[in-house]
Each structure stands twice: as C-alpha cells, then as structure tokens.
Amino acid sequence: MPKRQSPEVNAGSMADIAFLLLIFFLVTSEMTQESGMFQLLPEKVADTSPPPPVNKRNVIEVLVNNNNLILFEGKLVKIEEIPTLVKEMILNSSNRTDWPVSRAVTEEELQVRIDKNKKVLEKANEAAQASAERKLKKSELRLKALQVFGEDFRKSEHVVNMQATQGAEYETYILLKDHLKQAYKSLRNDLAIKVLGRGWSDLTLQEKEMLKMVYKENISEAPVIQ
Amino acid sequence: MSKFNDGKKQRIEPGISTASLPDIVFMLLFFFMVATKTRENTSSLIVTLPSATETGKLEDKTPTAYIQLGVPTKKLQKVYGDKTSIQLNDAIKSKKDIRMFLDDKRASIKASYPDAQIGASKAKKMVVCLKVDKKTKLGVVSEVKEELRDASALKVNYIVNEGK
C-alpha cells in the first residue's frame, strides 16, 4: 500500500476564531480607569470617652445644610470662595488670635523624632520592620523639607471640620471636599513657586512628598446632623 | 509589456497570503486582554457621578469592592420602588448585606493568592469604591459609611468624573 500523505490542517479559519475572541474581549472589558477621591475612614473605637479637647481657634468649621448651602465659620459663602478662605486661615500670616495657631518648626524637634524612630527600628521585629523603616524615612524627609523650605515650614494646628446635614446632596458634599483639597493644592503650589521656582506639576515625587508634609491635609468629618 | 510576454503563458497574480492573519489578530487579542480589565458589573441603578478636579487614580491591581448607590432603573422600580437603593455586585441588596458582601470579597481576595500571608495583606489593602448618584441624600451615604466602619473596611474611594 502506498504511504498516504496526511492532509495539512486548514488554518484558514484560525483568524475567524481569533477575531471572535477579540470581539468578545472588546465587549466585556473596559479601558478607562476610574478616577476617584480617596478617604480613610476613622476606625471604630469601643470606648466612648470624650475626644481630646481642641482649641476652638484651631477648628475651621464648614457646613452643608439641607438646601445645599455652605456655611463657612457660620457665614453663608459661595463654594468658589472656599479655597481662598481656607488658605488664608491656615496660613494665618497676620497672626490673628481667632485663627488657627501656626508656629515655626525647629530642627531639634525633628531630630528628636528621628532618634525616636531609629530606636523603634532597632527594636522592631520582622513583622514591624517595614513600617518602622518607612516611619524613619519619613521623619528624615521632614528634616530635609525643613532645610529646603526653611521658615516657610510652619506647623499649623488647624483642623478643617466638615459637617453636613442629612438632607444635603452628595454632589455638594463632593464639591466641597474638592474645594477643600484645592485649597491645600494651591498652598503647596504657591510655596513651590516661591522656593523652588516651579509649579506643582513640574515637581519631583520627593518634592511633592515634602510639600505635603509642610501643608498636611487635616480634614475631619463629623457625623451627619439629623 | 506584451512584447516581453509574447508567446509565453499568461502569468497569474499570486493571492495575498492570509497565513499570518491569525497571528496579527492574536496579537491584538493579547494586547486587549492585558490592557483592559473586565467590566465589574452591570448597573441596576441610575448613577450619575458628580465631578471633581482633585482626583487620584487607584494603583493597578489594587483589590476593590464596588458599592453603588442610586435610584433603581425604570424597569426595576416596580420591584424595588423609587427610593435610593444599594447595589452590591449585580443585585440590589439592603444595608445589612454590606458586611457580608465585604467579608466575602475579602475571603475571595485572600483565596486568589497561593501564599496565605500575601493574600491576607492584599485583603487588608482592599479599597471600597463608592459609586454614588449625585442627587443622593447624604443621610443614606453616611449610613453606608457607618456600615463600612463596622466592617472595618476603612479605605474608601469616591468615584467621580474628572474635570469640571
């Protein structure tokens, strides 16, 4: 019997199969990455002891009411005014006694913190090592920030207290949050231009990190008012 | 031309070979498989996101859980009413189900890593993405946030449209 050549497999339909798969993936997947606003919720603690007292001058009150109107320190304001108002209060360049305390940061206090973190790192076991290392790096970066920004590195003791009533709309809440963040961004941007001569978008990651230390975001959210 | 071909057989143009077509298509296919992620879930709610400028993007491969808040679509309003509802995965659920949903999600994240320790740390990093309709009342949102705190899922990402 003559040896029969086995016929070659026809690969012509391979393309069709691949196309089918391709179209399936195109339909079931999405390319756009969602952007969002991140928030770390406060941990739930069991004890109901009253919170530590806060000096009233350090609190910046912002409230959204049921009619989606915004009260800033008890006064009705437009949302566009929020960044400027918050900036003024955080900087407190005129040293007003009813505005948040802002004091100069000294090299010694940062050094104390570095030494403390070094000791923690030495004692840390394997599990805690990574986080201790991160803390030490952060405190060292803070010292570097002081060297770069000098007397502009001030510690502000402000807390932005964001409150809303139950009937307020989510959109207003997000807008308000956005405008508060804009205040911080603008503060950082101003300092970057003043000291480094570049705007926020032209900075390196480390410089951004340092500016975030200089103007630390401190927004606290009070529970919704019934 | 014809004088060169005189007396010779007419040459037939060879067809374009399609043998490499599957390769090209497969390459496209792999590109899309890598560059995209599968759609999380279809929405049973009408969710119009608010806009904001100061936004960030989540790192790739961050484990996420999606919770949506909004009014049910017209078709589903007969069943669920027209009040603000909560959607977990594909179904409209109640507030009490959030905790179990998050626990399930964490368990499945943990199980998807062969190493138990890595799995546990990934589960801890889970971010809850809130897709909330902009007309939702804050009372409802804060109730959900309380549930999240109870379930100790503290990392929250409010999904918004970027820009004004």
The answer, yes or no, to whether ipTM is higher than 0.90 is no
Residuewise pLDDT in 10s, chain A (226 residues):
566 777 777 777 878 888 888 888 888 777 667 788 998 888 887 767 777 777 888 888 999 989 999 999 888 999 999 999 999 888 888 888 888 888 888 888 888 888 888 888 888 887 778 888 888 888 888 888 888 888 888 888 888 999 889 889 999 999 999 999 999 999 999 989 988 888 888 888 888 888 888 888 888 888 777 7
Structural domains in chain B plus CATH codes: 45-162 (3.30.420.270)
Buried b (16+ CB within 10 A) or exposed e, A202-214: ebeeebebbbebb
Instruction: Return the residue matching tokens 């391709």.
Output: A22
DSSP character at residue B83: S
Pairing of strands A159-164, A59-64: parallel
Angle at B67 between CA B64 and CA B73, to 5 degrees: 140
**Cβ distance of B135 and A170 shorter than 8 Å:** yes
Encoding tokens for residue A165?
Answer: 């009533």
Instruction: Tell me how far CA of residue B54 lies from CA of A60, A177, A203, A208, in angstroms.
Output: 20, 9, 17, 15
Query: Do A166 and B136 count as a contact with CB atoms less than 8 A apart?
Result: no
CB contact under 8 A, A174 and B156: no
Q: Are β-strands A154-156 and A159-164 bridged in parallel, bridged antiparallel, or unpaired? A: unpaired
- Give the residue from chain B lying closest to A127, CA to CA: B117
What is the per-residue pLDDT across B86-143, written as a single tens digit (0 to 9) for each? 998 778 888 889 999 999 999 999 888 888 888 888 888 899 999 999 899 999 999 9
Residue A177: which of B130, B64, B124 has the closest Cα? B130
Measure CB to CB from residue B54 to each of A18, A171, A182 and give the nearest one: A182
Tell me the per-residue pLDDT of B150-162, one tens digit each, with 9 for 90 and over. 888 899 999 998 8
Residues from chain B that touch A166, judged by Cβ atoms under 8 A, are 137-139, 142
Nearest Cβ partner for B37 among A29, A39, A177:
A29
Q: Which of A25, A31, A34, A221 to mutate to test the interface with B (most CBs of B within 10 A)?
A: A34
